[in-house]
Copies of this chain bind each other. A is one copy, B any other.
Amino acid sequence: MTSLSCLILNCTLKSSPAESSSELLGSQVLAALLDHGVTGEMQRVVDHDVRFGVSTDEGDGDEWPVLREKVLAADILVLVTPIWLGQPSSVCKMVLERLDAELSETDDDGRMLTYDKVAGIGVVGNEDGAHHVTAELCQALSDVGFSLPANAVTYWVGEAMQGVDYKDKQPTPEKTVETTRTLALNASHLAGLLAKSPYPATS
């Protein structure tokens, strides 16, 4: 069996060591992936000096290249983002913009370096927004070459206009536990298939 690896990117707005609901959800996704024999780690994006831009390296101390190397080394990328105003975080959008550079980083067969990688999504917020965040991330991740498994997302949000954080919601709601498990199962299955049988050259 092919050994798979994953990278979880936590797109919270808050630097470590601030508590983060996205961190909690991300760690649960990571644990669920480890259960399937996947190796990997989680990185909090704002702990790195990532610059605004749409290239692979904006220079001048830009730390995206460090994260990009981890993205390219992983079979599974999971973006975990908080919801603000019903939408993905600006940090998550910054990550997607940096991934946009992959559109022009094709190999000799015209395939992006992200091809054969699988993406998963985690979303948390006090309330409302998970489906829309998922929509924007699915589209952007498919655009830049990732494949999406069935049920590619796990999430939690509270009732409308409530203020409870996921990190303070104990124990984790069962529905989210199940969804996280399904995401890990499906993402690792699909990544295993693509690792053995890559997409053919497009030209």
Closest chain B residue to A52 by CB distance? Answer: B13
The yes or no answer to A32 lying at the interface (CB within 8 A) is: no
State in angstroms the CA–CA spacing of A86 and B134 once bound together: 10
Give the residue of B87, B90, B116, B173 whose beta carbon is less than 8 angstroms from that of A131: B87
Q: Are A160 and B157 in contact (CB under 8 A)?
A: yes
State in angstroms the CA–CA spacing of A13 and B118 once bound together: 28
State in angstroms the CA–CA spacing of A97 and B87 once bound together: 10
The yes or no answer to A23 lying at the interface (CB within 8 A) is: no
Q: Which residues of B contact A199 (CB under 8 A)?
A: 149-150, 185-186, 189-190
State in angstroms the CA–CA spacing of A146 and B150 once bound together: 5
Closest chain B residue to A155 by CB distance? Answer: B160
Q: Which residues of B contact A52 (CB under 8 A)?
A: 13-14, 46, 89-91
A residues apposed to B, CB below 8 Å = 13-14, 46, 52-54, 84-91, 93-94, 96-97, 100, 112, 114-116, 127-132, 134-136, 138-140, 142-153, 155-162, 173, 175-176, 179, 181-182, 185-186, 189-190, 193-194, 197, 199-200, 202
